[in-house]
Amino acid sequence: MHDETATARTFRMRILGAGAVDRHVPGQHYDVRLTAPDGSTAQRSYSIASEPTDGREVELTVERIEDGEVSPYLHDEIAVGDQVELRGPFGGWFIWAADTPALLLGGGSGVVPLMAMRRYWHSTGGATPLRVLVSVRRPEDLYYQGEWGTETTVIHTRQAPSGDPRTPGRLTAADLEPLLAALPEPVAYICGSAGFTEHASQLVVSLGLPAPNVRIERFGPG
Amino acid sequence: MARLGFGRGQLRDDRLPPGQYDTGSSFPVLTAEVSPKLTAQNWSFRVDGLVEKARTWDWQAAHKLAASGYEGDIHCVTSWSKLGTSFSGASLDTFLAEAGVLPQATHVVAWSHTGYTTNLPLAEVTGGRAWVVWEHEGKPLPPEHGGPARLLVPRLYFWKSAKWIGGVRLLDHDEPGFWEQRGYHELGDPWLEQRYAGD
Ligand SMILES: Cc1cc2nc3c(=O)[nH]c(=O)nc-3n(C[C@H](O)[C@H](O)[C@H](O)COP(=O)(O)OP(=O)(O)OC[C@H]3O[C@@H](n4cnc5c(N)ncnc54)[C@H](O)[C@@H]3O)c2cc1C
């Protein structure tokens, strides 16, 4: 386990269970299922952050939602060596195997599946045209610091690092135009809150990307 | 197993199917597609396939049908449920009766103006179990929730309630829709927790 930011933690999990291996495609998620002593259950989806490997381990990154049921539990109660019930991997739409030019747009914990895609792309040679845009509130909210490459642009909505010429604010067409211009017929993968994905998807369509080339995954409200 | 003490310490509402939580007054948005620029003017609803006469209703024609609504709960496969909410429009039974369902029809594929599809057994969408709705809690259904009109099949997980509904086609066999081709359950009964294929 390690912390990505003050509120996000990455969990590396070993897959247990007879014959169980992880065979995911970047972008897929697992369902984490908790069962209370009275038998009631709570289940939430968490995207896989790691790239497909030998199938014995996966990484999930969980943002702590303060008044949430499951995410604070995972942050506060799970210790190294604990077992957690996982089901999956699931998802057959928001997936990318580095086979078509792609524009990945992520806000908040929406960067988790995008990192799996970026990691897979990187380790398979990085030949497919790719641009990534990550939207964070403040510099310290960026997940996976130090791992993003030149394909990635980070924009700040509340506070930018000193020296950044961009005025802090939400994603604009001007942020996206150079990225789209660099990509021949891309598919856009947009992941984050409902507000971020709705805004970003309408922007890319207004810039001329056909709606069928836009794939959206929404993580939470607002 | 880690110590299981999760939960907010409140009594679990018995309207909540297993694994679901109450989202309260919020209504989360979930779509895999870009919300289309669809208005009442260019919306239509079609019933075709195994029917006596394929029919299409525009906004005005659909609003002339007997009004019908739903009050109760809805359940999304991503684990939220919204309790005690309401929608109004017209019953799918009314549309089907006007088109005349042929006896060999067993399933429907519901499709959206965006190209989204979802499959349903006919018995799950007849007898007061499905609606085409254009109002949510007394207000016009907003575009991100499927407005101007969506299908509503509240007994099943909400991905069956196709947003931006364009029509239903009656078939004599089951034909997996968008999510059903991608690993989700063919029926999707929240009380049986039929989230994924094989559940
Ligand atoms: C396909 C999919 C993949 C996902 N992948 C990830 C992932 O990789 N990492 C991750 O951290 N989360 C991810 N999520 C979100 C995750 O499943 C949970 O919704 C989230 O952890 C909140 O659960 P909770 O039990 O802590 O809060 P809940 O008890 O569900 O909610 C508590 C309160 O927080 C609000 N809320 C719920 N979710 C969010 C959110 N995401 N942001 C802000 N407010 C919220 C609710 O409306 C409610 O008011 C994913 C969701 C989906 C559908």
Q: For residue B3, is pLDDT > 50? A: no
Query: Does any domain span residue B4?
Result: no
Question: Which parts of chain A register pLDDT below 50?
Answer: 222
Which of A58, A90, A122 delimits the end of a domain? A90
Query: Quick one: pLDDT at residue A112?
Result: 98
Ligand 1 neighbourhood includes A43 CB (under 6 angstroms) = no
Query: Quick one: pLDDT at residue B1?
Result: 35
Query: Does any domain span residue B165?
Result: yes
Q: Measure B104 CA to ligand 1 centroid, in angstroms.
A: 43
Q: Measure A177 CA to ligand 1 centroid, in angstroms.
A: 30
Chain A: closest CA distance from residue B53 (Å): 31
Shared domain for A86 and A122, answered yes or no, is no
Residue A143: CATH number of its domain? 3.40.50.80
Query: Does any domain span residue B125?
Result: yes
Chain B: closest CA distance from residue A63 (Å): 16
Q: Measure B98 CA to ligand 1 centroid, in angstroms.
A: 43
Query: Does any domain span residue A206?
Result: yes
ipTM associated with this complex: 0.70
- Closest ligand 1 atom to residue B24 Cα is 49
Chain A: closest CA distance from residue B72 (Å): 21
Flag whether residue A216 sits within 8 Å of chain B, measured between CB atoms: yes
Domain with B75 in it: 44-192
Query: Does any domain span residue A96?
Result: no
Query: Does any domain span residue B8?
Result: no
d(CA A215, CA A188): 6
Which of A55, A90, A125 delimits the end of a domain? A90
| Chain B residue whose CA is closest to A220 | B28
Query: Quick one: pLDDT at residue A221?
Result: 58
Shared domain for A35 and A56, answered yes or no, is yes
Query: Does any domain span residue A205?
Result: yes
- Cβ neighbours of A209 in B, within 8 Å: none
Q: Using H for helix, E for strand and C for coil, what is the string for A55-112?
A: CCEEEEEEECCCCCCCHHHHHHHCCCCCCCEEEEEECCCCCCCCCCCEEEEEEHHHHH
Q: For residue B2, is pLDDT > 80? A: no
Flag whether residue A215 sits within 8 Å of chain B, measured between CB atoms: yes
Question: Which of A198 and B108 is assigned the larger pLDDT?
Answer: B108
Flag whether residue A92 sits within 8 Å of chain B, measured between CB atoms: yes
- Cβ neighbours of A16 in B, within 8 Å: none
Query: Does any domain span residue A95?
Result: no
Which of residues 61 through 90 in chain A touch B, CB cutoff 8 A?
69-70, 73, 77-79, 82-84, 87, 90
Shared domain for A68 and A174, answered yes or no, is no
Query: Quick one: pLDDT at residue B30?
Result: 72
pLDDT in tens, A117-173: 999 999 999 999 999 999 999 999 999 999 999 999 999 999 999 999 999 999 999
Q: Measure A38 CA to ligand 1 centroid, in angstroms.
A: 23
Shared domain for A107 and A192, answered yes or no, is yes
Shared domain for A82 and A129, answered yes or no, is no
Q: Measure A219 CA to ligand 1 centroid, in angstroms.
A: 6
Flag whether residue A123 sits within 8 Å of chain B, measured between CB atoms: no
Query: Does any domain span residue B109?
Result: yes
Which of A90, A113, A139 delimits the end of a domain? A90
Query: Does any domain span residue B37?
Result: no
Residue B73: CATH number of its domain? 3.90.420.10
What pTM was estimated for this model as a whole? 0.86
Q: Say whether B196 and A87 touch across the interface (CB within 8 A).
A: yes
- Cβ neighbours of A80 in B, within 8 Å: none
Whether residue A153 contacts residue A133, with contact meaning beta carbons closer than 8 Å, is answered with: yes
Shared domain for A73 and A121, answered yes or no, is no
Question: Which of B77 and A148 is assigned the larger pLDDT?
Answer: A148
- Cβ neighbours of A205 in B, within 8 Å: 34
Task: Give nearest CA residue, ligand 1 atom 40.
Answer: A220
Shared domain for A61 and A126, answered yes or no, is no
- Closest ligand 1 atom to residue B28 Cα is 47
Residue A16: CATH number of its domain? 2.40.30.10
Which DSSP string do the residues of chain A spell out, in sequence order? -EESSSSEEEEEEE--STT------TT-EEEEEEE-TTS-EEEEEEEB-SPP-SSSEEEEEEE--TT-SSHHHHHHH--TT---EEEEEE-SSS---S-S-EEEEEEGGGHHHHHHHHHHHHHTTS-S-EEEEEEESSGGG-SSTTT--TTEEEEESS-PPTT--SPS-S--HHHHHHHHHTSSSPEEEEEEEHHHHHHHHHHHHHTT--GGGEEEEEEE--
Count of domains observed in chain B: 1
Count of domains observed in chain A: 2
Domain with A22 in it: 2-90
Shared domain for A84 and A130, answered yes or no, is no
Query: Does any domain span residue A97?
Result: no
Query: Does any domain span residue B10?
Result: no
Q: Using H for helix, E for strand and C for coil, what is the string for chain B?
A: CCCCCCCCCCCCCCCCCCECEECCCCCCCCCCCCCCCCCCCCCEEEEEECECCCEEEEHHHHHCCCEEEEEEEEECCCCEEEEEEEEEEEEHHHHHHHHCECCCCCEEEEEECCCCEEEEEHHHCCCCCCEEEEEECCEECCHHHCCCCEEECCCCCHHHCCCCEEEEEEECCCCCCCCHHHCECCCCCHHHCCCECCC
Query: Does any domain span residue A20?
Result: yes
Shared domain for A73 and A113, answered yes or no, is no
Residue B27: Cβ within 10 Å count = 18
Of A46-60, A108-122, B27-41, B79-93, least confident by mean pLDDT is: B27-41
Q: Say whether A93 and B34 touch across the interface (CB within 8 A).
A: no
Query: Does any domain span residue B106?
Result: yes
Pairing of strands A57-63, A41-47: unpaired
Shared domain for A124 and A210, answered yes or no, is yes
Chain B: closest CA distance from residue A206 (Å): 11
Shared domain for A208 and A122, answered yes or no, is yes
